[in-house]
Amino acid sequence: MNKGKIEKKIVIGNWKMNPSNNKEALKLFTSISKLILNIKNTQIVVCPPVLYIENINKNLKKISLGAQDAFWGDVGAFTGQVSVKMLFSAGVKYIILGHSEKRAQGEENSEINKKIKAVLSLGITPVVCFGENNRDESHEYLNFVKVQIEEGLNGISKNLISKIVIAYEPVWAIGKSALREATPEEFREMSIFIKKILNDKFGAKNIVNIKIIYGGSVHPENTLSFLEEGKADGFLVGRDSLDAKKFIEIVNITENEIN
């Protein structure tokens, strides 16, 4: 059992651009819902493509609804964008921001910062992703992550920082081009480093309840080690969130580690 200050963990499923139609999306969600048994201490969130949100929201029970991104503006000439207000009205409680795939498309820290402020203004929980592209021997990656955090959280109130969930995403350990999987020890080190930056910026008392979760190729086989050795507060799950059995296995391991 984890005796840390944060008792309740969080497991977030990021479906990315999957599945291919509304029927399959509802089928996946229903399969996940049916497998949930006696989950009391783990917050479960699913983040489907925005087109499926309304349909899934009609079937919510023990699962919270999330979105994969949002735009910082309220209304206006922003072709193709979806505002935070729109997502709020659709029942969204969590929004992923600054994901490595969005950053790879050119999203900058200043834009992510505006999105975070817009999400917080409506009482939605931002799940903000930070992480380095490469791990160099000179440890320049630490400064890279530090800049991401400082610029991304610039101007955020000390009273609101604990409302943010931080997802550490080691880009070099994710996807088909991954060099290798990150280790729980590497996550633990980065979690401590991130908390040091947050402590310096917001003060120790304001960050005591902040969650730092792991978001790099999470699967049932490495879940327990990241909880026990890495001291992760939860997970941002990509590929295995599309497999109902694997996703719930990750949830169950997280739940049992708490109890």
- DSSP annotation of 161: G
Per-residue confidence in pLDDT tens, the chain, 259 aa: 344 444 689 999 999 999 999 999 999 999 999 999 889 999 999 999 999 999 999 888 889 999 999 999 999 999 999 999 999 999 999 999 999 999 999 999 999 999 999 999 999 999 999 999 988 888 899 999 999 999 999 999 999 999 999 999 999 998 777 878 899 999 999 999 999 999 999 999 999 999 999 998 899 999 999 999 999 999 999 999 999 999 999 999 999 986 5
Strands 165-168 and 94-97: unpaired
Ramachandran sector of residue 149 (left: φ over 0; alpha: ψ -120 to 50; beta: rest): alpha
E strand spans, the chain: 9-14, 42-47, 63-67, 94-97, 125-130, 165-168, 211-214, 234-237
CATH code for the domain defined by 9-258: 3.20.20.70
Using DSSP's 3-state secondary structure scheme, residue 172 falls into: helix
Quickly count: other Cβ atoms within 10 Å of residue 122's Cβ: 15
Query: What phi and psi, each to the nearest 5 degrees, are found at residue 80?
Result: 85, -5
CB-CB contact of 248 with 207 (8 Å): no
Using DSSP's 3-state secondary structure scheme, residue 167 falls into: strand
At 258 the pLDDT is 61
**Token pair of 95 as six digits:** 């929004």
At 1 the pLDDT is 39
Q: Kindly list the catalytic residues.
A: 99, 169
